[in-house]
């Protein structure tokens, strides 16, 4: 009966809010009211409070208002007879509880600063740091992209613990196989799912999509906070527009909660609270069901689900479709296993990585030349070697198909990395001739053979690229001579390919490609990808888009005839404008590909870097999303992204990929890369060679990277000006950047 649920949720709301009020009073007695509070490395304050109420909690004092608001949401208790309606009150009480729990976690960060492992992707069992707490903005953006492109279809918030560690492992593996993230919070009678999984030897962390938030129910607030940051970051919804934030979650963020164990009043309050997000609750115990629809897309509370069905039942209840690749290998397989490490102690054997040569090559073949599905190992397999050994490795893939073009070879080749990584217990690093494959003992126990790499590649190539290929044959070489021969041939191929791409220009191609992949989250955003402007996420260049279009002609990458050139300097074409107008649903009627000052391209939340004009230095800076520090424009990456992302065109700012910085057309309309006066050192080091090459090629400047200031020199305009003057940075002498 729903009434019992309402009763529990409202009771739980009172319990939680009263407790948190007590903790807040204690904190006020312990610390000064001006003491800073918050979650680490985020521009979103306490994100639930910020997103829903528009309140920025920065100090202990700032907590008072949202906490009083939470209290005001508490409705009267439900009477047993002739009671008043309780759905609205139940949702309010749950929301009040979740707001209070976010405050509770902020107080925990204040009181126990070392409780959570700060901004780490994986847990540190040896140091006893198994709780990750709030995901910072770097994780949010990196993982957010996976929700955007569909590689992570949703997330499960799992409360409590399973009856045994093995059941715990089975449940989360079901989610991993379906590529969902599982986030763990709360304990059941003192046992946590996290500890059960550690006991079962499961790798935990963002990399394996198994994230231990915290041991208490309060850490469930991190999940709701993440979801709301997705709505603000990728959906571009302004903080305080609570209805839109919650509906965005209902419609686009496919999350749900599982409760493992007895649902008491506090869990009940959280469950009632997450219904506001449209996240249903699926539990393993016998509690009342709430099946009518409305707040959630389908059922609200589904009880009594056996553990081996809870994954399937949950995604069905949420209305989520997940296609799982069934691949005939003895290990589990899927994106959730991509981030799994094979550490020294677990290592059985490795190939490449400086120990031996390991090379990958995809080549077009004639239809009659190869046999589809043939996977051959020439040389010893894993079974033929002993623990600690190494092998050379050549992965040679021949692909044939009526629609297949040699242009698609590098695209398929790039898939080898993540597809191989998708195999549980196998780790793949690098690409081309610097490949490195590590095989764990667990893989060998399950019966791993190198042949399985071929099986995976054959199956996945067929699944993902069926429109462009008909036959795939894989040969794995493990004899040194064969590998060396393949390597030599491969290097020649790489050279030809690189030249072909480098010689392409925006002028020579009539067709550009759109990318609206992110519209699942940023509905107005439209990327235009040209040969000299790769997608701002760094994941899609022109060639990728072309292939993606061939593979899926109705997909998010569509060819755009660029048409009449309206502005060759700023990079504006009529055909592009027309397309953008339509694809942005009338929100954007034009933009420039080569300018960040005048009507720049729109930016979604998933750009690799954001460039900003520094008017005082007559130049620009850029910052990559991995850099968490301050920048000379006065904003950190995450603040910048909040200001200019979400599908808007923001003059003075533009999102771009790392690679794009050294492409010829990079902000060429504003003076080009000569304007670049600052970037974080980690980024500068990463692209140093290409920066120097580009500087010399275009402007005859040697070691251009040395003229660009970085965070070791300063993070304000004033701090870096003397440096720029000293090195004679060309930007200082250019025409004013703002006309």
Provide the binding-site residues for another protein, judged by CB under 8 A.
1-3, 6, 52, 73, 78-79, 81-92, 95, 149-150, 153, 242-243, 246-247, 251-252, 254, 276, 290-295, 298, 300, 315-316, 319-323, 516-517, 519-520, 523-524, 555-556, 585, 587
- 32 burial (CB, 10 Å; 0-12 / 13-18 / 19+) is exposed
> Whose Cβ is closer to another protein: residue 150's or residue 373's?
150
Task: Report the nearest approach of another protein to the CB of residue 6 (Å).
Answer: 6
Q: How many angstroms separate the CA atoms of 600 and 591, rounded?
A: 5
Shortest CB 176 distance to another protein, Å: 18
Judging by DSSP bridges, how do beta strands 210-212 and 375-378 pair with one another? unpaired
Nearer to another protein, 520 or 716 (CB): 520
Least Cβ distance, residue 242 to another protein (angstroms): 5
In the bound complex, what is the minimum distance in angstroms from residue 49's beta carbon to another protein? Answer: 13
Choose between 415 and 431: whose C-beta lies nearer to another protein. 415
Which of 81, 525, 2, 42 lies closest to 271 in space, CA to CA?
A: 2
What is the rounded CA–CA span in Å between residue 736 and residue 284? 66
The smaller minimum CB distance to another protein, of residues 151 and 431, is found at 151
Q: Is 34 exposed, middle or buried (0-12, 13-18, 19+ CB in 10 A)?
A: exposed
Taking the complex as a whole, the smallest distance from the CB of residue 85 to another protein amounts, in Å, to: 4
Reading the block at residue 319, the tokens are 């209305």
Instruction: Name which of 6 and 185 has its Cβ closer to another protein.
Output: 6
**b/e per residue 312-348 (b: at least 16 CB within 10 A):** ebbbbbbbbebeebebebebbbbbbbbbbebeeebeb
The nearer residue to another protein, 234 or 594, going by C-beta atoms, is 234
- Shorter beta-carbon distance to another protein: residue 87 or 643: 87
Q: Which residues does 65 contact at the CB level (< 8 Å), separation at least 6?
A: 55
In DSSP notation, 460-496 reads HHHHH-TTT-SEEEEEEE-SHHHHHHHHHHHHHHHHH
Q: Name which of 104 and 318 has its Cβ closer to another protein.
A: 318
Helix axes 242-252, 220-233, angle to 10 degrees: 100
In angstroms, give the least distance from the CB of 354 to another protein: 38
Residue closer to another protein, measured from CB, 247 or 732: 247
Burial classification of residue 157, based on how many CB atoms lie within 10 Å of its CB (0-12 exposed, 13-18 middle, 19 or more buried): buried
Shortest distance in whole angstroms from residue 212 CB to another protein: 27
Q: d(Cα 446, Cα 325) in Å, to the nearest integer?
A: 19
Taking the least distance from each CB to another protein, the nearer of 318 and 471 is 318
Nearest approach, Cβ of residue 67 and another protein (Å): 16
- Judged by CB, which is closer to another protein: 2, or 660? 2
Minimum Å gap between C-beta 407 and another protein is: 25
CB of 306 to another protein, least distance (A): 20
Cα dist from 563 to 35, 554, 590, 726, whole Å: 58, 21, 13, 45
Element (H, E) at 93: helix 87-111
H or E stretch at 627: none
Between 166 and 323, CB nearer to another protein: 323
Shortest spacing between CB 257 and another protein, in angstroms: 17
Picking from 634, 625, 735, 720, the residue whose alpha carbon sits closest to that of residue 145 is 625
> Nearest to residue 307, comparing CAs of 92, 487, 163, 513?
163
Q: How many CA atoms lie within 13 Å of 267's alpha carbon, on the beta-carbon side?
A: 26
- Name the DSSP class of 722: H
Q: Are the C-beta atoms of 198 and 204 separated by less than 8 Å?
A: yes
Q: How far is the CB of 243 from another protein (least distance, A)?
A: 7
Contact 708, 614 (CB under 8 A): no
């Amino acid at each position: 009966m729903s009434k019992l649920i309402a009763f529990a949720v409202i009771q739980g709301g009172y319990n939680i809010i009263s407790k948190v009020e007590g903790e807040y009073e204690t904190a006020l007695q312990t610390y000064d009211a001006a003491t800073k509070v918050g979650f680490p490395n985020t521009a979103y304050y306490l994100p639930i409070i910020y997103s829903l109420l528009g309140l920025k909690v920065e100090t202990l004092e700032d907590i008072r208002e949202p906490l009083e608001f939470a209290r005001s949401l508490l409705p009267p208790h439900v009477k047993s007879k002739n009671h008043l309606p309780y759905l609205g009150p139940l949702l309010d009480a749950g929301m009040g509880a979740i707001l209070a729990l976010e405050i509770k976690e902020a107080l925990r960060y204040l009181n126990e600063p070392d409780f959570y492992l700060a901004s780490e992707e994986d847990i540190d069992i040896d140091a006893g740091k198994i709780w990750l707490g709030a995901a910072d903005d770097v994780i949010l953006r990196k993982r957010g992209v996976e929700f955007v492109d569909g590689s992570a279809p949703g997330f499960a918030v799992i409360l409590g613990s399973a009856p045994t560690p093995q059941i715990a492992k089975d449940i989360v593996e079901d989610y991993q196989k379906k590529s969902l993230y599982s986030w763990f919070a709360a304990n059941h009678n003192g046992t946590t799912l996290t500890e059960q999984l550690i006991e079962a030897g499961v790798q935990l962390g963002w990399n394996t999509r198994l994230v231990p938030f915290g041991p208490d129910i309060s850490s469930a607030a991190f999940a709701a906070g993440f979801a709301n940051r997705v709505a603000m970051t990728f959906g571009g919804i302004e903080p305080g527009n609570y209805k839109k934030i919650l509906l965005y979650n209902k419609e686009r963020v496919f999350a749900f909660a599982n409760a493992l164990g007895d649902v008491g009043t506090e869990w009940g309050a959280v469950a009632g609270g997450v219904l506001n997000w449209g996240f249903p609750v699926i539990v393993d115990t016998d509690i009342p069901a709430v099946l009518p629809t409305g707040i959630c897309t389908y059922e609200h509370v589904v009880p009594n689900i056996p553990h081996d069905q809870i994954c399937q039942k949950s995604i069905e209840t949420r209305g989520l479709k997940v296609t799982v690749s069934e691949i005939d290998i003895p290990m589990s397989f899927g994106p959730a296993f991509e981030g799994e490490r094979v550490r020294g102690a677990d290592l059985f054997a490795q190939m490449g990585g400086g120990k031996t040569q390991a090379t990958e090559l995809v080549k077009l073949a004639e239809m009659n030349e190869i046999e589809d599905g043939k996977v051959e190992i020439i040389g010893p397999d894993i079974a033929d070697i002993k623990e600690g050994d190494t092998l050379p490795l050549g992965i040679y893939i021949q692909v044939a198909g009526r629609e297949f073009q040699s242009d698609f070879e590098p695209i398929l080749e790039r898939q080898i990395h993540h597809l191989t990584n998708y195999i549980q217990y196998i780790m793949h690093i690098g690409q081309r001739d610097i490949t490195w494959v590590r095989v764990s003992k667990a893989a060998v126990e399950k019966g791993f053979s190198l042949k399985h790499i071929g099986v995976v590649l054959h199956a996945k190539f067929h699944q993902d690229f069926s429109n462009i290929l008909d036959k795939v044959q894989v040969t794995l070489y493990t004899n040194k001579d064969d590998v060396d021969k393949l390597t030599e041939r491969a290097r020649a191929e790489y050279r030809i390919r690189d030249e072909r791409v480098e010689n392409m220009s925006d002028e020579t191609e009539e067709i550009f490609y759109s990318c609206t992949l992110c519209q699942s989250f940023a509905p107005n955003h439209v990327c235009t990808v040209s040969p000299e402007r790769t997608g701002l996420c760094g994941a899609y260049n022109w060639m990728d888009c072309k292939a993606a279009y061939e593979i899926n002609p109705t997909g998010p990458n569509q060819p755009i005839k660029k048409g009449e050139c309206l502005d060759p300097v700023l990079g504006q074409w009529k055909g592009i404008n027309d397309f953008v107008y339509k694809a942005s649903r009338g929100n954007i009627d034009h933009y420039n590909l080569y300018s960040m000052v005048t009507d720049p391209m729109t930016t979604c939340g998933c750009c690799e870097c954001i460039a900003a004009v520094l008017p005082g230095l007559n130049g620009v800076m850029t910052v990559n999303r991995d850099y968490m520090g301050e920048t000379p424009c006065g904003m950190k990456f995450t603040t910048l992204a909040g200001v200019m992302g979400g599908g808007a065109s923001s003059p003075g700012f533009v999102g771009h990929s790392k690679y794009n910085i050294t492409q010829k057309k990079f902000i060429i309309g504003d003076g080009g890369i000569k304007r670049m006066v600052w970037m974080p050192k980690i980024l500068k080091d990463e692209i140093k060679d290409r920066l120097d090459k580009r500087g010399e090629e275009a402007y005859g400047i040697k070691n251009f990277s040395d003229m660009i200031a970085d965070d070791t020199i300063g993070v304000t305009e004033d701090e870096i000006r003397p440096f720029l003057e000293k090195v004679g940075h060309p930007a200082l002498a250019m025409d004013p950047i703002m006309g």
